[in-house]
Amino acid sequence: MGKSAVIEDAIVLAADRGWPVLPFRMDEVEADDRTAQAVGLRLRLPGSPAALIAQVAGGGPALLVVDQLDAVSSYSGRIPEVFEAVDEMLEALATSPNVKVVLVARTVDVEKDPRLTSLVGQEGTVERFALGLLDDQAVRAVLEQGGTPAEKLGAETLALLRTPLHLAVFSRLTKAARTTAYRSLQDLYDRYTDEKRREAERSLTHEAWPAITQQLVEEMSRRETVTVPYALLDRFARTDLAVLSSAGILLHAENGRIGFFHETYFDYLFARSFVLAGHDLHDFLSASGHGRRRAVGEVARHTRGRTAGPPPAGVEHRPPSGAGDGTPRTVSGRRRPMAAAAPLLGPVAALGTRLEADPRAHRPG
């Protein structure tokens, strides 16, 4: 089961018990949002999410879900300085033990970012829950349901599809494409992009696909976010944006923002554009901020996918966010104002891996 399913179940369980629930995502805020108040305003809330949920709870049980915490990780996040806002919220809720908080991040970020490591390392207050890859039987069951004999794919592809995101992307390919072996998420995205573009361009105006996707990639890179205000695409026909949403390429956030269906797809398109434009990776590295440094690794991987060889000097090989690098996934729980995905009755918090969302879902991953 992917992180998305675990968190959704936690939210539903809390709501069914009558708890007020306030979920939000840290990848929908921007680098300037360094206070809890600023995060709330960015999300079109009247104030700090922590203060609001505590006020609504009125002393009763409530749940605050902070998804995509790795967006503010010092290891792979695009806006690590915004962690200050999360820390402020946790401090504010220290006096409200009735409010449980679910924090969601990738295992690698929890282990590599000292701030997150310290957060989950508080003995007696934190419990971590592993969210592993899908087992082979589950993958084969999904393939069989979709009419794809697992034997045709080979061990390498079956291993790749144990990551929920990869299996979701694979399942959206045409039947013919689902009989082909794939070595990486990049290979899957190559085929996915080709098929979805062919399908969408039957309804799009001329050159709408490259114009819209390129503007999104440039704005997201410049802002170091994975969603942008919807108004930035005002020059494009609403029918074209609707076509790309229907095709599973774009997703509309709830706070007037828009992005690709998953952060790894943005990484893929960014790297593809960068390589095709012939930009210099070393120049980009020296001129980039922390968030865009993370994109450098994706460019290096993309380049190696086209021409074999080691990454450029000074470029650290880091697994792409949510890309399913084969590392264990973790959900961790923290007693205090925290809650776990399963035992919501106990004061525990979840710290887990990136959302490997189904591309058909209504929010970016």
Rg over alpha carbons for the chain, rounded to the nearest Å, is 20
Question: In DSSP terms, which residues pair with 229 in a beta bridge?
Answer: 257
Q: What is the residue range of 153's domain?
A: 136-183
Same domain as 204, residue 155? no
d(CA 86, CA 97): 17
Is the residue at 339 inside a domain?
A: no
Same domain as 157, residue 195? no
Instruction: Give me the DSSP letters along 13-56.
Output: HHHHTT--EEEEEGGGS-TT--SHHHHHHHTT-SS-HHHHHHHH
Q: Which of 54-63, 92-101, 244-253, 350-359 is least confident?
A: 350-359
Q: How is residue 206 written in tokens?
A: 């001329």
Q: What is the mean pLDDT of residues 106-132?
A: 82
d(CA 357, CA 3): 8
- Find how far residue 225's CA is from the centre of its chain: 11
Same domain as 227, residue 120? no
d(CA 200, CA 328): 36
**Other residues' Cβ atoms within 10 Å of the Cβ of residue 124:** 6
269-323: pLDDT as tens digits: 999 998 887 766 666 655 555 555 455 555 556 555 554 444 333 333 344 444 3
Block residue for tokens 């996918």: 305
Same domain as 107, residue 90? yes
d(CA 298, CA 316): 10
Is the residue at 349 inside a domain?
A: no
Domain count, the chain: 3
